[in-house]
Structure 1
Amino acid sequence: MLTRSIYMKKGFRKVEFEVSSNPMTYSGTINKSILLLVLLIISSVVSWSLFENIADSALILLITTAISGSLIGFITSMFPKISVFTAPIYTILEGLMLGTVSAYFESIVPRVAISAVLTTIAVCTTVLLIFKFKPGITHKLRKFIIIATFSIALLYILNYILNVIGLSFPYINDIGPIGIAINIFIIIIVAGNLLLDFDIIYTGVNNKAPKYMEWYASFGIMVTLVFMYTKILELFFRLFGRDYFKN
């Protein structure tokens, strides 16, 4: 193994690794991403199918999987080498969470979940095609996406704190034009994060990153997909579930 250190941007931090004699490859990363996607779908279907039988316990399952998934996701982002073990666990937990949320929204607004799934696929395909024809992203675009993502994360943290004391930011949960526009803007920024994920793979393969980075890159894609789907699901719920908000 060579000793030359390489840095790759991932979110708000840099991942450092040494050039490997057994580097990550596109095919390896694709295979692992497909495996994680299958785990995500299976766990989502399981929790969806159980929703009617565990309706009274669904909130407990939702909170447990959301907290556990977030914790494992944070640990994985800090220690990429363990992603070979933690990425599948994170994906399964997030799948259980998504299945529960989707089943709940579907019980209120029929076909909202399948609409969100198809839209997520369409957005991901569009981003992939964009990156395929123009691989790599500019420093300015990367900086904008990271700053926007950080701002959104901060907004949600502050909104959560305000909710605890009975307040909230105006429009963020609104079903009106401004609330929907905010939701769409967040989806666009999340799609930008998918560009960053693809850039991680592109940079890693070109710089001969070690094999475990295939798992780490695949984990990053799952994080982005999960958040993208939840925001798209929320958008459609706002658009088609207006009667629910009026009650």
Structure 2
Amino acid sequence: MKTSNPVLSRLGQAAERERSAGYGPYGPAGQGQPGYGQQAGYGQPAYGEAYPTATGYPASPPAVQPMTIDDVVVKTVTLLGITGISAVAAWNLIPDSATGAAWIGAALVGLVLGLVISFMRVANPALVVAYAVIEGVFVGMVSKTFESFYSGIVLQAVVATFGVFFLMAILYRAKVIRATPKFTRAIISIMAGLFAVMLINFVLALFGVNTGLRDNGALGIIFSLVCIVVASLSFILNFNEIEEGVRMGLPQRYSWTAAFGILVGLIWLYIEILRLLSFLQGGDD
């Protein structure tokens, strides 16, 4: 179970440990095959055989269902729905006087949760759902602020975001863009660099230092364009992780991790498109 993707390697190792403990996939993908590190002991049925029960009828051994594409789609739609509901609620319930505080607070909490989810070795649906709720507040406050200056800009950004997402899905499906090891390393490195720059810029802004990186100028427009391109290409990594995860037989709960990756990319892309549209309309935010 080898892969050049570090995320998949980590998830693959976690799945391997589950199978080593005797919880390998059972059914079409694993029926009749011995579990990793599992041997039939004295008086125990071999793997793939039925377990006797008090009623005399055979029962299958415990199993962990493998992840499927449908699982990821359902989880992604669920997270998007939660994020959308949270955004609408924040837009309507949080007063204008608290918009800035809610925006910054949600951004910081979301960043911490995102890092925890990204680096932990076990998928945690509760944390992923909590992330969607917090990011919904962040997206709602950002959207409300931009919409107050530019009427209709939120709808334009939403349409553009999903348009880019489906375009990348088509390009990946048609194998126009593939997640080769070199491509994967390059995108991950660039993303890490961009997030580091944005985090530094955010901290400096809190102390009143304006770098011009997020202003309506040549530097701000170029940086937003770079972020949009990289955010778009990050979906190729997501699609590849999902495809490889299904092939590797990762447990079903890892579909939450895959859906989380897509949600992060969509939110990032949406915010960058929203900002770029405001620049093109002559705004300075």
Q: When the two structures are superposed, what TM-score results if normalisation uses the length of structure 1? A: 0.86
- Structure-2 residue corresponding to 1:109: 150
Q: How does 1:89-238 map to 2 (within 5 A)?
A: 89-134=130-175, 136-163=178-205, 166-169=208-211, 171-238=212-279
- Structure-2 residue corresponding to 1:61: 102
User: Is the alpha carbon distance of 1:6 and 1:152 closer, same or farther for their aligned partners in structure 2, counting shifts above 3 Å?
Assistant: closer
Q: How does 1:17-32 map to 2 (within 5 A)?
A: 17-19=14-16, 20-21=24-25, 22-32=65-75
TM superposition shift of 1:167: 3.7
Q: Which amino acid aligns with 1:46?
A: A
Higher relative contact order structure (alpha carbons within 8 Å, sequence separation ≥ 6): 1
Whether the aligned pair in 2 keeps the contact of 1:42 and 1:95 (CA below 8 Å) is yes
TM superposition shift of 1:181: 2.1
Q: Name whichever structure is richer in helix by fraction.
A: 1
Q: 1:70, 1:204 → 2: CA distance? A: 25
Tell me the alpha carbon deviations over residues 33-54 of structure 1, each in whole angstroms, 9 at most, x when there is no partner.
1111111111111122235xx1
Whether the aligned pair in 2 keeps the contact of 1:109 and 1:237 (CA below 8 Å) is yes
Sequence identity (%): 26
Equivalent residue of 2:172, what SS?
Answer: helix
- Structure with the greater alpha carbon radius of gyration: 2
TM superposition shift of 1:237: 1.2
TM superposition shift of 1:6: 6.9
Runs of 4+ off more than 6 Å: 4-7
Whether the aligned pair in 2 keeps the contact of 1:58 and 1:100 (CA below 8 Å) is yes
User: Is the alpha carbon distance of 1:154 and 1:68 closer, same or farther for their aligned partners in structure 2, counting shifts above 3 Å?
Assistant: closer
- Structure-2 residue corresponding to 1:37: 80
Whether the aligned pair in 2 keeps the contact of 1:7 and 1:17 (CA below 8 Å) is no
Q: 2:5, 2:181 → 1: CA distance? A: 13
Q: When the two structures are superposed, what TM-score results if normalisation uses the length of structure 2? A: 0.76
Q: 1:5, 1:18 → 2: CA distance? A: 13
Tell me the alpha carbon deviations over residues 83-141 of structure 1, each in whole angstroms, 9 at most, x when there is no partner.
21111111011011101110111011111111111110111011111111228511121
Q: Which amino acid aligns with 1:43?
A: S
Q: 2:120, 2:4 → 1: CA distance? A: 14
TM superposition shift of 1:200: 1.0
Q: 1:36, 1:166 → 2: CA distance? A: 35
Q: Gaps spanning 5+ residues in structure 2: where? A: 17-23, 26-64
TM superposition shift of 1:173: 2.3
Equivalent residue of 1:143, what SS?
Answer: helix
Q: Name whichever structure is richer in strand by fraction.
A: 1
TM superposition shift of 1:10: 3.4
Aligned residues: 237
Equivalent residue of 2:215, what SS?
Answer: coil
User: Is the alpha carbon distance of 1:214 and 1:64 closer, same or farther for their aligned partners in structure 2, counting shifts above 3 Å?
Assistant: same
User: Is the alpha carbon distance of 1:145 and 1:7 closer, same or farther for their aligned partners in structure 2, counting shifts above 3 Å?
Assistant: closer
Tell me the alpha carbon deviations over residues 153-192 of structure 1, each in whole angstroms, 9 at most, x when there is no partner.
12223323444554444x5223233421221111100111
Q: Gaps spanning 5+ residues in structure 1: where? A: none
- Structure-1 residue corresponding to 2:116: 75
TM superposition shift of 1:215: 0.5
